[in-house]
Structure 1
Amino acid sequence: MTEVTSDSERAAQLRDKVVDELLERGEIVSREVEAAMRKVERHKFAPEASLEDAYQTFNAVVTKRNERGNAVSSVSAPQIQAFMLEQAGVRPGMRVLEVGSGGLNAAYLAELVGDAGEVTTVDIDPEVTERAARLLAEASYPDVRVVLADATEGVAAHAPYDVIMVTVGAWDIPPAWVKQLTEDGRLVVPLRIRGLQRSVAFQREADRLVSTSVRICGFVPMQGPGAHDSQFLLVTGTDEIALRFDDGLPAEPSLLDNAVRGPRAETWTGVTVKRGEPIDMLQMYMATVMSGFCIMSVDKDLDTGIVAPWNKRFSMAAVDGPNFAYITPRLTEDEQFFEYGVHALGPDGADFAEVIAGHVRTWDREHRGGPGPRIAVYPAGTPDGRIPELPGGRVIDKDHCRVTLSWPSTATAAGDQDVQYHTAEQGE
Structure 2
Amino acid sequence: MSADELRNAMVERIAVRHQALGLVLPPEIERALRTVPRHLFTGDVPLEGAYGDGSIITVRGEDGLHLSSVSAAWLQAMMLGQAALKPGDRVLEVGSGGYNAALIRELVGPTGSVTTVDIDETVTDRARRCLAEAGYGDVEVMCADAEFEIDPGRRTFDVIIVTVGVPDISPALWTQLADNGRLVIPLRTLGLTRSWVLHRDGPALVSSGHLMCGFVPLRGAGARPGLSIPLREDPSANLWLGEGKGIDGVGDLTGVLDLPRVQARSGVTIGEAQPSDDQDVWLAATVPGFCLLVADQTAIDTDVVRLSWPYGSPACVNGNTLAYRGMPVPVDGRDGVREFVTYAHGPDAEQVAAFLAGQITAWDAAGRPAPCLRVYPAGTSDADLPDGYVLDKRHSRLVISWPTAR
More RCO (CA 8 Å, sep 6+):
1
Paired position in structure 1 for 2:263: 266
Question: Percentage identity across aligned positions?
Answer: 41
Whole-angstrom distance in 1 between the partners of 2:306 and 2:188: 23
Whole-angstrom distance in 2 between the partners of 1:302 and 1:107: 41
Paired position in structure 2 for 1:327: 325
What residue identity is the alignment partner of 1:355?
Answer: F
Whole-angstrom distance in 1 between the partners of 2:258 and 2:138: 64
In the superposition, relative to structure 1, how do residues 147 and 341 fare at CA in structure 2: closer, same or farther (>3 Å)? same
Matched, 1:72 2:67: yes
Q: How does 1:202-351 map to 2 (within 5 A)?
A: 202-235=198-231, 239=235, 241-247=237-243, 248-254=245-251, 263-298=260-295, 308-311=305-308, 313=310, 314-328=312-326, 329-333=328-332, 336-351=336-351
Q: Bigger CA drift: 136-145 or 247-256? A: 247-256
Paired position in structure 1 for 2:188: 192
Is the CA contact 2:299–2:305 (under 8 Å) kept in the aligned structure 1?
no
SS in 2 for 1:151: coil
Q: How does 1:365-404 map to 2 (within 5 A)?
A: 365-368=365-368, 370=369, 372-388=370-386, 390=387, 393-404=388-399
Paired position in structure 2 for 1:182: 178
Is the CA contact 1:310–1:330 (under 8 Å) kept in the aligned structure 2?
no
RMSD over aligned CA atoms reads: 2.6
Q: Bigger CA drift: 225-234 or 342-351? A: 342-351
Q: How does 1:152-171 map to 2 (within 5 A)?
A: 152-156=147-151, 159-171=155-167
- Offset, 1:119: 0.9
SS in 1 for 2:248: coil
Whole-angstrom distance in 2 between the partners of 1:54 and 1:303: 30
Is the CA contact 2:91–2:115 (under 8 Å) kept in the aligned structure 1?
yes
Is the CA contact 2:250–2:317 (under 8 Å) kept in the aligned structure 1?
no
SS in 2 for 1:228: coil
**Residues matched between the structures, number:** 397
SS in 2 for 1:253: coil
Whole-angstrom distance in 2 between the partners of 1:29 and 1:308: 37
Paired position in structure 2 for 1:364: 364
- What's the CA shift string for 1:104-154, capped at 9, x where partnerless? 111111122222211111000001111111111222212211111001113
Is the CA contact 2:230–2:237 (under 8 Å) kept in the aligned structure 1?
yes
Matched, 1:20 2:20: no
Is the CA contact 1:201–1:211 (under 8 Å) kept in the aligned structure 2?
yes
In the superposition, relative to structure 1, how do residues 249 and 306 fare at CA in structure 2: closer, same or farther (>3 Å)? farther
Paired position in structure 2 for 1:84: 79
Whole-angstrom distance in 1 between the partners of 2:258 and 2:271: 35
Q: Normalising by the residue count of structure 1, what TM-score does the alignment of the two structures yield?
A: 0.85
Stretches of structure 2 that go unaligned for 5 or more consecutive residues are none
Whole-angstrom distance in 2 between the partners of 1:119 and 1:306: 49
SS in 1 for 2:195: strand
In the superposition, relative to structure 1, how do residues 384 and 306 fare at CA in structure 2: closer, same or farther (>3 Å)? farther
SS in 2 for 1:156: coil
- What's the CA shift string for 1:54-97, capped at 9, x where partnerless? 111x2112101223333221111110111111100111111110
Structure 1 stretches of at least 4 aligned residues deviating more than 6 Å after TM superposition: 257-262, 300-306
Is the CA contact 1:269–1:361 (under 8 Å) kept in the aligned structure 2?
yes
SS in 2 for 1:152: coil
- Offset, 1:373: 0.5
Matched, 1:53 2:45: no
Stretches of structure 1 that go unaligned for 5 or more consecutive residues are 1-6, 412-428
In the superposition, relative to structure 1, how do residues 109 and 28 fare at CA in structure 2: closer, same or farther (>3 Å)? farther
- Offset, 1:312: 6.9
Q: Bigger CA drift: 206-215 or 76-85? A: 206-215
SS in 2 for 1:324: strand
Q: Bigger CA drift: 29-38 or 184-193? A: 29-38
Paired position in structure 2 for 1:93: 88
Matched, 1:29 2:25: yes
SS in 2 for 1:249: coil
What residue identity is the alignment partner of 1:156?
Answer: D
In the superposition, relative to structure 1, how do residues 366 and 301 fare at CA in structure 2: closer, same or farther (>3 Å)? closer
Paired position in structure 2 for 1:119: 114
Q: Normalising by the residue count of structure 2, what TM-score does the alignment of the two structures yield?
A: 0.89
What residue identity is the alignment partner of 1:203?
Answer: H
What residue identity is the alignment partner of 1:40?
Answer: V
Is the CA contact 1:309–1:315 (under 8 Å) kept in the aligned structure 2?
no
Is the CA contact 2:249–2:318 (under 8 Å) kept in the aligned structure 1?
no
Whole-angstrom distance in 1 between the partners of 2:259 and 2:34: 59
